[in-house]
Amino acid sequence: MSDDTDADPEAVDETDDEEFARRVAEARDLLSEDATALYVGVVRDGREVDSTFAQQADDAQQEGMQALSLLASHIRLVSDEAGVDYTTVAADAVTLAEQLESE
């Protein structure tokens, strides 16, 4: 009888790779739908971040609401993944944004 500490690290990595590939495929599927706004962020080597944002809207108010909706959705997603309250994630994001701005 084995326990989780004896798990094959390569098998765990493969499972993580499969999960990541599935999520990338889901993201591509979302892009093929009738999107009016999108944000894509890519992290490389745990630090380098590349991102892009695009939207189509009839007026500035709709543009602002779409941007805020994407931000709010992302904050909720990160909080769910991290298992913390979304207000904590939002506060941490503000702190990180300020640090990135000063670099």
Average pLDDT of 85-98?
94
**pTM, whole model, 2 decimals?**
0.66
Determine which helix (DSSP H) or strand (DSSP E) holds 31, and give its type and residue range: helix 9-31
CA-to-CA distance for 49 and 24, rounded, in angstroms?
17
pLDDT of residue 13: 63
Q: What is the pLDDT of residues 19-38, one digit of tens each?
A: 999 999 998 998 877 889 98
Q: What is the pLDDT of residues 45-68, one digit of tens each?
A: 887 788 899 999 999 999 999 999
Domain ranges of the chain: 4-102
Q: Which residue from 69, 89, 67 is spatially nearest to 80, judged by alpha carbons?
A: 89
Q: Which amino acid is at 16?
A: D
Give whole-number Cα distances, 30 to 23, 42, 57, in Å.
Answer: 11, 16, 18
pLDDT of residue 9: 56
Banded pLDDT at 2 (limits 50, 70, 90) = very low
